[in-house]
Amino acid sequence: MSMNKYMHPRNIYKIPPDFSKLVKLYNDFATVAKTGLSGKVSIDFKNPNSLRVLTKCLLKSDFNLDVIIPEDKLVPTLPLRLNYILWLEDLLAAMKLTIDIKGIDIGTGACAIYPLLAAKKNKWHILGTETDKDSIKIAQQNIDRNQLQDCVELSHNSTGNIIKQLFINGNDRKFHFSMCNPPFYSNLQELCESRSPARPPPKNGFTGSPQELITEGGELEFCRKIIKESRDHENNVIVYTTMVGHKYTLAELIQDLQADGIKYTHTEFCQGHVTRWGLAWTYQNYDIYKLVPPREKLRKTRTPIVYLLPELPNAVYTVEEAFKKLSYIFRELNIDYKVMEKRGHNISVDLIAKTNTWSNQRRKRRLQKRLQDEIKKIKTDDVCDQNMNAKSDPGAVLNLFPDSIVVNNSSHSDNNESNNKALKINGNEETTHNKEIQYTPVVHALLKLFKKDKDILLQMEFYEGIAGKQGLHQIVQYIKNNWK
C-alpha cells in the first residue's frame, strides 16, 4: 500500500512528479522513460540508473540543484530526504529557533543531499561529516557546482568517533541540530537478507555501496553511539536527531533515552511503500515531545502485552528453551519470525503473520476433516473432470467448499474477518495490484523474551496489522493454550 497519503503535509512529492513534463525538460530522463499505450509515462523503478536519472532531474527541476550521483553510490530518494528536512523545520520552529540555523549532517554521502537541500531550501548552514574519502570528494564537487560553499562545509572523519571529533581541542562550536541517515546494516549477509520474506519484494532497485550501508552493530549500535557521544556534548547541539530504518531500532533507542531521562520525540517518514522513523532528543529545556508530538498511530501501539511463561514439562526453564518452543509454535502458525537481537538472556524477535491461522482452530479441524471426507468421496465416486481438477488445485477446492481451509505449506485460509478485511482494503485501494493481497500483514509485532528474577517473561508489542491489537491478544492466547 502506498504511504504517500501519510507524507509530511508540506512535502511537494505528495503529488507525484509529472513524468511527461520531465521527458520534455530533460533528454536524460527521456532515455529512461517509457510511454505506454495510454500515453502514461513511466520509468523502471527497479533499474538503479533510472532512479539516478529521476533523482538528478527532480533535484534540478524542483530545487535548481545540479548534482552528480556516482554509479556506485546510494541514490537518495527525495520524498524521504524531504520528509526529514520538513520534520526538522517543524522541530526548530516549535523550539522558536528560526534565525541563522546551523546543523550537522552525520554521514553526508557523495551526493551531500541533506546539506544541498537544507542550504538551498532554507539557507541553513550545514557541516557535513563523512568517513569515505571518495564520497567526500564528490560531495565537495556537488557543493561547488551549486555555489553553496558559504552554507556548506565538509569534514572528513577518520576517527572511530561519530561527533566527538568535532568538539576536541577546546572547539566549542554550537549547532541548532544534528541529523543522520545511518548505515543500516551490520554485515553483508544482513544487507542481503534485509527484507523479511513476509514482505513484498522492494519496489525500487537497489543502490549504494557496502561502505555506505554497513557499520559494525548496524544502525542500532551506530545510533546508540551518537546518543552516548551526545551526552558529552549536551550544550553543543540543541536538538540531536537521527533517522532509523527499523521500527525495532526506534523502540530500543526510545527505551535507552527513557532509561536515562532524556527528553525525546519521534515521527514516521512515510513515502511510497517505505516507512522510516525519525528520533529527536535534547538536553536543553524544551519539552519536544509536547512541542512536536509523535504520530498518533505509533503512540497508540506502544503498550505491550506481557505473559509469564510457565515451566514446560521435560524442558529446562531457560529463555533459550522457551524460544525453541515459541519458534515451533510460530512455524505451526505460519508466522514469519526473525531474531533481531540476542543479548545475554534477552531475545528480541520481529514477527509477521500474513494470515490468521490461530483463530477458530477447532472449527478449522472440523472443516478440514469434512474437506478430506469430501475429497475421499470424490475419489471413490470417480466424478467429473471439474472435481478432479479441484483436487489438484487448492483454489478450486476452496471454491467448491468456500467455508473450508486448505492446509499445505504455503497456503492457509479461513473465512475470518481479518482476512476478508485484507482483501477489501487492497481491493478498494489498488484493484490492479492484486499481488499485495498476500502480503498485507494481519499482525506485525515485536516479541521480547527475557528473564526477570526466576521468571521468563514473554512481551509482545503490536506494531501494525489489519487484525489490530486484538489479533496479537489472540496469538498470545494461542501460545498460552499450547504451552504444554
Q: Which residues bind ligand SAM (CB under 6 A)?
A: 74, 76, 106-109, 111, 113-114, 129-132, 135, 157, 162, 181, 183, 211-213, 215
User: Cell numbers at residue 423, please?
Assistant: 482483501
CA distances from 314 to 289, 311, 317, 472, 481 (A): 48, 9, 9, 28, 17
Q: How far is the CB of 170 from ligand SAM (least distance, A)?
A: 21
If we measure between CA atoms, which residue out of 86, 447, 443, 79 comes closest to residue 274? 79
- If the CB atoms of residues 162 and 254 are measured against ligand SAM, the closer one turns out to be 162
Q: How far is the CB of 247 from ligand SAM (least distance, A)?
A: 18
- If the CB atoms of residues 183 and 218 are measured against ligand SAM, the closer one turns out to be 183
- If the CB atoms of residues 101 and 180 are measured against ligand SAM, the closer one turns out to be 180
Dump strand ranges (E) for 13-133.
33-35, 41-43, 102-106, 125-130
User: Cell numbers at residue 430, please?
Assistant: 489498488
Q: How far is the CB of 440 from ligand SAM (least distance, A)?
A: 28
Q: How far is the CB of 309 from ligand SAM (least distance, A)?
A: 38
Q: How far is CA 476 from the centre of its chain?
A: 24
Question: Which residue matches cell numbers 561547488?
Answer: 144
- If the CB atoms of residues 187 and 482 are measured against ligand SAM, the closer one turns out to be 187
Q: How far is the CB of 93 from ligand SAM (least distance, A)?
A: 22
- If the CB atoms of residues 162 and 322 are measured against ligand SAM, the closer one turns out to be 162
Which residue's Cβ has the minimum distance to ligand SAM?
Answer: 107
Cβ 128 vs Cβ 105: under 8 Å: yes
How many CB atoms sit inside 10 A of residue 435's CB?
11
Residues 6+ apart with CB under 8 A from 243: 84, 179, 180, 181, 182, 269, 276, 277, 278, 279
CA distance 118 to 21: 25
Q: What is the largest CA-CA distance in the chain?
A: 91
Three-state DSSP state, 353: strand
Q: How far is the CB of 74 from ligand SAM (least distance, A)?
A: 5
Residue 66 phi, psi dihedral angles, 5° rounding = -110, 105
Q: How far is the CB of 112 from ligand SAM (least distance, A)?
A: 8
- If the CB atoms of residues 139 and 449 are measured against ligand SAM, the closer one turns out to be 139
- If the CB atoms of residues 53 and 162 are measured against ligand SAM, the closer one turns out to be 162
